[in-house]
Amino acid sequence: MYSQRNNEKKRALLKQRPVVIWFTGLPASGKSTLATQLETTLLEKGYLSQWLDGDDLRNGLTRDLGFTEAEQEENIRRCAEVAKLFRESGLITICSFISPTQHIRNVAREIIGAADFLEIYVNCPLEVCIQRDDKHMYTKALRGSVTNLVGVNFPYEAPRQPWLELYTHHYSIPDCLNRIWEILEPRIQVQ
């Protein structure tokens, strides 16, 4: 009860409803690009947010983990716990994680809370992701020097019912951001 009252006070103080926006999709599908642009949009419109990126957390909080199925689940579990803490502090939290299976995403949803977990599937064909890949991870995986890349060495399981699905190979980043904003703004506004 005490925590509930404090959360309501935080919402009133920040003038926003905290949620977790969870971008998922293949590597190089556009998750991080959309996440950074969304964070900028939120700040420009007066909303306080925090972006959590898979690459950044893999270099710090989860650097002790590899890429087995169990380690990927633990990676997402830790990331979801951090996202939950940011949400509980009143922030709109933006996450960009491959999170390749429905099970792993369900773990995150359960930790964060289904009502505040806004899953955005960044849907982009593998061939387009390969062309966009400025880190050359797909090239390395196809040559065999990288053996743990989702989309090549492990399958990506598309979300069954995402909050929003964006086709980044058909629509521009500004068009995708406009679509996100259309349905996000009513969710985060405090009346």
pLDDT tens track for 138-154: 888 888 887 888 878 88
Give kind and range of the element (H or E) at residue 122.
Answer: strand 117-123
Which is catalytic among the residues 3, 29, 99, 145?
A: 99
Burial class (CB within 10 angstroms; exposed 0-12, middle 13-18, buried 19+) of 166: buried
pLDDT of amino acid 69: 77
Query: Helix, strand, or coil here: 147?
Result: coil
Pick the closest to residue 18 from 91, 84, 111, 83 (CA basis). 91
48-98 pLDDT tens trace: 999 999 878 777 777 787 777 778 888 889 899 999 999 999 999 999 999
Assess whether 32 carries a catalytic annotation.
Answer: no
Q: What is the distance between the terminal CA atoms of the chain, rounded to a whole angstrom?
A: 22
- Residue 2's pLDDT band, with cuts at 50, 70 and 90, is very low
92-118 pLDDT tens trace: 999 999 999 999 999 999 999 999 999
pLDDT of amino acid 1: 46
Task: For the chain, list the domains and their CATH numbers.
Answer: 2-188 (3.40.50.300)
